[in-house]
Structure 1
C-alpha cells in the first residue's frame, strides 16, 4: 500500500450512529386498481359537419371524447392554440376521471367563453388521436354530432359546468355520485451516517419511505365540499348538484333529469347538442359564429385517402395498447384531508396503468364511474 494514497481519494467509512423512525401523516398517492375501465383518455379535435347538403358553409365544433386525465388540461391548452381565437362549441362525451383536472377544464372553458353540450361525434374517416392521420384545412376532422349514447358522468359535470351555454337534452345522460378518497399511509425512517473525506467527517442523513396499508373514505371531506361549492357558485350552478353528489353512493350513478338540471341551473335550456351542430343552423342570418365557409372541398377526399393508406400500412401489425393514465385527483396537506395541488407528475413518474399510479405524494381524491 502506498502511504498517503487514500489522502487523495474520497474514503467512505460508514458508521451507523442512530436510526430514527418517525410516523407521519404523509400519504402516497396512487390511483386505485379496479376492474372499472374508463377507456381511452380524452382527445380533442376540430370537427366540421359532414351532413348532406351542408357545404360550402357548415357548422364546426370541438369534439372532447374520453376520460379526463390529470394531463388533459395541458392537452386542452395546447389544443386551444389551433383555434386562433375562434369560439367553437364543445361537444363532450366522457365517463369522468380526475376531479381536479375537470375543475381546471371548466375554468378554461369559461375563460374562453365556450358553449358546451353533451353529445358524441361520429367521425367520417379520421378520429382525433389516430396515428398517421392528418385532419383537413384548419386542423379539421369531419363527422356528425348526436346525443344518442352520449354521457357526462362522475367528474365530467364539473367540466360541463364551465360552459356559457350548457345543453344536455335529448338522449344525453348526465350522472353524478359521491367521491372516494384513498389514503396510503407511509412511515418515514431516517438513518444518520458519517462520510469521511480526507480525514474529515461529514454527517449524512438518508430518508427511507415505507408504505403502509391503504384505506378508503367514501365521504366527501369538508374542505373538498367547500371547494366544489365555491366552484359551482362561480359557474352559476345551484347547490342541488353538489347535494345530489353527496347523497349518491360512490358505487352508483344518479342520473340527473333534464327538469332537475334546469332547476339546478346545470343546463341553461332544454335544448340538445343539435342546436350547436346541425347543418341548418348556418342558414340563419346572421349565421352562428361556429359556421365557416370553406373553399377546399378536396380536404375530405384527401383525409379519406390518408385513412385508407394508414389502414393498409398497418395491416398485420398488432394494435397498440394505448396510453394508460391515472385517476389522481386531489392532494391534501399532511395534517388532514384538505384540498391542494394535483398529486404527482406523470412526466416524471413514467407510464401509469389505469387506476394505478406510482409516485410519492399526499392523499388524493378520486371519482369512480
Structure 2
C-alpha cells in the first residue's frame, strides 16, 4: 500500500518535470517567465505612469498559504484599477475556489502576465489548472494575447479509498460549476476541464476565453431596468462599469411630457467645459437643454432631445458621453444598449408622449 502511494507520488513529480521541460523547450528564453514551483508570492509593484492603477503580481503554486498573502492587500478592497497578475501552473482546487471568491469580493481585476524587468510593459505569463479559478474570480478579466491559459480534470487525490476519492471529485465538480456560474463564466469551461485527462492540458485560445466569458476585456455587461425615483416617477436606467470608470444613463418624463436624458459618470475632474451625446459613435448635434454639474466625484449631464433625436436614441446600440475640458482634452464614457433596452425605452417614450403604437419613434 505504501509502495503504491510512493510510486504515484513519484509519477506525479516526474510528470510535472516533463511539463516544465516541454514548456521550456517551446518558449524562447526571455519571452516568458516560468512560474515558481514553491507556494505563490504576491508582490505589489508601484505603477510608474501614475495612472492610478495598482499592480499585484502572483507567482507560484496555489495552496492554502496564498490566502493570507492575498489578505495583506485587503485594504485595497473596492478601489478601481487594482489588477492581480497571475503566473502559476496551478495547485489546490480547494484553495483556488476560495481564492477566486475572495478576489471577486475584493473587487480586484485579473490578468495572466508577469512583470518585465526594466520595462513598463508586462510580459506573457502562464495560468493553468487551479490558476484559472483565480483568473475567473477577477471582476474585470483582461486579455494578454500571448499568455498560456489551460485547463484539465482535477488531479487525483491522495485518498486510497476509491469511494472517498469519487465523493471528493463529485463535491468539487458541483462546487466548480456553481463557482463559474456565480463568476459570470460559461459552465462550458467545466465541460472542457472534465473531458481533458489530468495528465494533459487543454489550451484556451483568446477566442475561447472570450466565447466562454473567461475574459471580459475590462468591461461588465450593461444592466438596464425600470425603477422609481425619489419623486415617485418611473425612470429607465442603465448602468455599465469598466475597470477605470462607470456610467449611469437615465431616461425620465418631464411634467411637460418631454423626455429628459440624464447621464452620471464617476469623473469629477475640474475644468469641464461641455459634453456631447453620441449614439453608435455619431454625435447628436443640437441637443437642447444641456446642463453640466460637477462634484468632487461625479459629473451629471442632462439632455432634452427632440423627436428626431429620440428616434436615433431608441434605435441605438450604444451611447457615448464625450466630455470636453478647457485644455482641449476630452474623455468618453460608453454604455451598451441591447435590443431589450431599446424596446424598453421605446415603450417608455410612448407612455410619456401618450403615443399609440403607430407613432412609435423606433
Q: TM-score range by the shorter chain?
A: 0.3 to 0.5
- Looking at secondary structure, tell me which structure has more helix per residue: 2
> Structure 2 length as normaliser, TM-score?
0.48
Higher relative contact order (CA 8 A, sep 6+): 1
What's the TM-score, normalizing by structure 1?
0.47
